[in-house]
Structure 1
Amino acid sequence: MTAVDIPAGSPFGLDNLPYGVFSTPGTAPRVGVRVGDRVLDLAALFEDLEIPDPALSADSLGPFMAQGPARWAEVRDRLQDELAGHSRRGEFGQFLHTLDRVHLHLPFRVGDYVDFYANEHHARNLGAILRPGSAALHPNWKYLPVGYHGRAGTVVVSGTEVVRPSGQRRGIETDMPTFGPSQRLDIEAEVGFVVGVPSRRGVPIPLGDFDAHVFGAVLVDDWSARDIQAWEYVPLGPFLGKSFATSISAWVVPMGALEHARIAQPPQDPEPLPYLRGDRAWGLDLAIEVSWNGQVVSRPPYAQMYWSPAQMLAHLTVGGASVRTGDLFASGTVSGAERSQCGSLIELTWGGTEPVTVGGRPSTFLEDGDEVVIAATAPGPGDARIGFGEVRGRVIGRPETAG
């Protein structure tokens, strides 16, 4: 028996305890932890324990994340001890709120946002779709984790509506562009990693120091306007086709909850350069599920990612760039070897040429009103599963055209 009732088989048990920022009607946002189907007010609990921490009363996880791994472990251990102690069972009600009574906020203020392209299946698929007859992978792909800097200001929390972007698109049978709403609006199922402890400019973060800097992981939907992206991306890469919205889950799963999900990453050939090489370049066994208007259309396996989170961070900083509290770096689209494991619609429908049936409708890219939900779990100790919750977004037309 625990101090809080947790449904049997819940992916939000004591082995998980993901962090978020919540508010209730008439109260300010503050730090909470999800326990089963409820949110635990962390600031109130620690006040009651007579060990108050102003960082837990903040409207962002930033101040807490900046305290570093020793503090993260201390709070996590104390939480697990308190929640496991049935002697306080009658006292926890004052600190708990049901999910339907809280508003979940963006859990941290995003500093810089970097998106990688770290999945070989996805990279090969896009190469075949966009560059038929040419090599699927560019020569550099297996030597470094390719990435780009995204727009931190349009990272939004799960549940935020996504306005269909407009921009320049290649004309039909001509090189003259047209302007208008994207007709090839897509999603990308990804996993993001959140920096807690900053680094010094000019000092790279080696593979073995990943855990000294990274606080936790979130689910990411990197919304993509493929027609805008296809016209603009040469020679400098993604810009307006990606900058309009990136959604993340409301819960940040601490890296300490993912110890049982660490696995050997797939073989890398050719062998990476020394700064990307070593036994610290572990992978993660995450099971992802993509639903489109309530219908599961894909189950991408994160275990098949070619580049690991530690390699991404090492490459991000090897040139001298520093990271700050709240920086977010994402994996890029997660895809597997099978079509049913593709993490983007451009792959799932092979560039729009092979529609999938969603709700009885042949579908290729997103229509106004469509909703996409990405969820994921990871193995925990024993038979436990660690839940990430979900990242949810619904597409709406631009305000001047929305009906």
Structure 2
Amino acid sequence: MTTTGTTTWVEGAAGSLFDVDNLPYAVFSRAGDEPRVGVRIGDHVLDLAPVAAAEMLDVHHVFQERSLNALMAEGRQVRTSVRAWITGLLTDETERDLVEPHLWPVADVTLHLPVEVADYVDFYASLDHASNVGRIFRPDAEALLPNWRHLPVGYHGRAGTVVGSGTPVVRPSGQRKAPADEAPTYGPSARLDIEAELGFVVGTGTALGDRVGVEDFAEHVFGVVGLNDWSARDIQAWEYVPLGPFLGKSFATSISQWVTPVEALGAAWVDLPGQDPRPLDYLGPDVARGLDIAVEVELNGEVVSRPPYRSMYWSPEQMLAHLTVNGASLRTGDLYGSGTISGPERDQRGSFLELGWGGAEPFGTDVWEGGRTFLEDGDVVTLRYTAPGTGGGRIALGEVTGRIEPARP
């Protein structure tokens, strides 16, 4: 094990959003090379496989894989040990001659989907988002359904349509029926939307029948990703009663190619805004915590919203506890999303459904004549995330970008 210093020798990295208190992982390749595991420092990615082999690291083989799954499956002890080793490599000048030849500019590599996604579950954890959606979809009823404050509501998504940032999103087609229509019609979604979310990637699995308590979150969750749960609101509105989202969600979910380890978020944990009524004991109401993560939603180069993750009602730990309370097993590569991140103000809403209030209140009028409500073909959406770093500054989580392509015949 190398001696860990406090300042990196990598040029331009110290004090950046990708300093040694961040160190997110990705799967990358260079021209003609096979994809493999790397870690980001500043504007460079460190090719871990040759360095680990040279230092005869016990788990050097996991860095040669085409996904992070092998590394994640090694568990928390190995994860933290590897992070300490990498930190030492990048702060100890005596390691520079070994490491520097394996640093590549991020701009010169290709990033790939970092995880082989096993199962995908999406939650609905923001009180402001759930209240807004309830008012839009059910204007004559209570905004929140009776169960919402008692458990983290969620649905099972489609793992096979989770894609990496930069992958085009094809406008989905399906059945739609507006309230005034006599019968449903088929065609491309006219109310295509985003959901700015945070995703949690499971490293260590569990046996069928076991449960994960809120205190064991870090034993099982490897890291976090930016996540955009694209949504076809017109398809969703017609299909979701009585069983919930299906085709309106399953066509694409985009995640960042960089996976930020949970250890990098050590300074980001905060108290939850408050839960009333008190959740049941298995949800750990006295110990569950929120995360202070700032999000930016950018549409065609213009920031249209800044949702605060710290306002979320249900915590990441509570979502995991609820996901497994019935004995459902975890697998390496499982992904669960927070649901749309929204705050109490209009410019903190994390979906266009809310920003445009169901299409009735166009937004972005300084950029587009007449404003915008839902996504149009050619639109590019980018989600960006930052959090307090353990080094005293801020760190950047992986951003998520997607461009809307026209529906296919």
Shorter-chain TM-score range: over 0.9
* Residue 24 of structure 2, aligned match among 12, 15, 18: 18
Counterpart residue identity of residue 399, structure 2 = E
* In 1, Cα distance between equivalents of 2:316 and 2:364: 34
In 2, Cα distance between the equivalents of 1:313 and 1:167? 32
Given candidates 85, 95, 105, the residue that maps to 2:92 is 85
Unaligned runs of 5+ in 2: 1-6
**AA of the residue aligned to 1:118:** A
Query: What is the distance in 1 between the residues matched to 2:349 and 2:28?
Result: 33
Structure 2 equivalent of residue 42 of structure 1: 48
Q: CA–CA distance in 1 between the matches of 2:349 and 2:227? A: 15
Q: Does the 8 Å contact 2:264/2:390 carry over to 1?
A: no
Q: How does 1:29-68 map to 2 (within 5 A)?
A: 29-51=35-57, 53-68=60-75
Could you tell me which of 147, 158, 182 is aligned with 2:154? 147
Greater shift in the superposed pair: 8-17 or 318-327? 8-17
Q: Which residue of 1 aligns with 2:393?
A: 384
Q: Structure 2 CA distance, aligned partners of 1:280 and 1:86? A: 41
SS of residue paired to 1:260: coil
In structure 2, distance between residues paired with 1:240 and 1:126 = 18
SS at match of 1:322: coil
Q: How many residues matched? A: 400
Q: Secondary structure at the match of 1:357?
A: coil
Which residue number in structure 1 is paired with residue 204 of structure 2? 197
Identity %: 57
Q: CA deviation at 1:47?
A: 1.4
1:370 equivalent to 2:376? Answer: no
Q: 1:281 to 1:164 in 2, by over 3 A?
A: same
Deviation at 1:236, TM superposition (A): 0.4
- CA distance in 1 between counterparts of 2:180 and 2:140 reads 20
Residues 119 and 307 in structure 1, CA contact (< 8 A), matched pair in contact too: yes
TM-score by length of 2: 0.95
TM-aligned CA deviation for residue 255 of structure 1: 0.3
Distance in 2 (CA, whole Å) between partners of 1:47 and 1:127 is: 54
Distance 1:172 1:112 in 2: 34
1:74 is paired with a residue whose SS is: helix
- Shift of residue 376 of structure 1? 0.3
What secondary structure, in the 3-state scheme, does the structure 2 residue paired with 1:363 have?
Answer: coil
CA distance, structure 2, for counterparts of residue 369 and residue 94 of structure 1: 40
Tell me, yes or no, if the aligned pair for 1:3 and 1:90 is still in contact at 8 Å.
no
In 2: Cα distance, 1:356 partner to 1:8 partner: 38
* Alpha-carbon shift at residue 171 of structure 1 (Å): 4.4
- Conserved? CA contact 1:3–1:82, under 8 Å: no
Seen in structure 2, the aligned counterparts of structure 1 residues 65 and 395 have a Cα distance that, compared at 3 Å, is same
Query: Partner of 2:354 in structure 1?
Result: 347
Q: 2:105 aligned to 93, 98, 102, which one?
A: 98
Alpha-carbon offset, residue 200 of structure 1: 1.0
With 179-188 and 382-391 compared, the bigger mean Cα shift is at: 382-391
Q: In the alignment, which of 178, 182, 186 is matched to residue 185 of structure 2?
A: 178
Indicate whether 1:302 and 2:320 are aligned.
no
Contact residue 21 and residue 104 of structure 1 kept, 8 A: yes
Contact 1:41–1:96 (CA under 8 A) maintained in structure 2: yes
Please list the CA deviations of residues 184-222 of structure 1 after superposition, one character each: whole Å capped at 9, or x if unmatched.
000000001000000111111111111111100001000
User: 1:322 and 2:329 equivalent?
Assistant: yes
Q: Deviations over 1:84-130 (max 9, x none)?
A: 01233344331111112111000010000000000000000001111
Task: Return the match for 1:116 from 97, 100, 123.
Answer: 123
- Deviation track 1:295-316 (CA, whole Å, cap 9, x = no partner) reads 0000000000100011000000
Are the equivalent residues in 2 in contact too, given 1:3–1:87 (CA < 8 A)? no
1:258 paired residue number: 265
Instruction: Tell me how far apart the structure 1 counterparts of residues 210 and 220 of structure 2 sit (CA, whole Å).
Output: 13
Partner of 1:336: 343
Kindly provide the amino acid, as one letter, of the partner of residue 214 in structure 2. Answer: L
Give the aligned partner of residue 360 of structure 1. Answer: 368
Sort the Cα spacing of 1:219 and 1:264 in 2 relative to 1 into closer, same or farther, 3 A.
same
Instruction: Output one character per residue of 1:131-185: Cα deviation in whole Å (capped at 9) or x when no partner.
Output: 1121000000000000000000000000000000000000462240011000000
Deviation at 1:8, TM superposition (A): 5.0
> In the alignment, is the contact (CA less than 8 A) between 1:2 and 1:89 conserved in 2?
no
**Is the 1:283–1:309 contact (alpha carbons within 8 Å) kept by the matching residues of 2?**
yes
Report the Cα offset of residue 68 of structure 1: 0.3
Q: Secondary structure at the match of 2:364?
A: strand
Shift of 1:51: 2.0
Correspondence for 1:134 among 118, 125, 141: 141
Correspondence 1:290 to 2:297: yes
Q: Which amino acid aligns with 1:19?
A: Y
Q: Distance in 2 between matches of 1:351 and 1:399?
A: 25
**What's 1:27 paired with?**
33
Whether the 8 Å CA contact 2:89–2:96 is kept in 1: the answer is no
1-side partners of 2:311 and 2:71: how far apart?
32
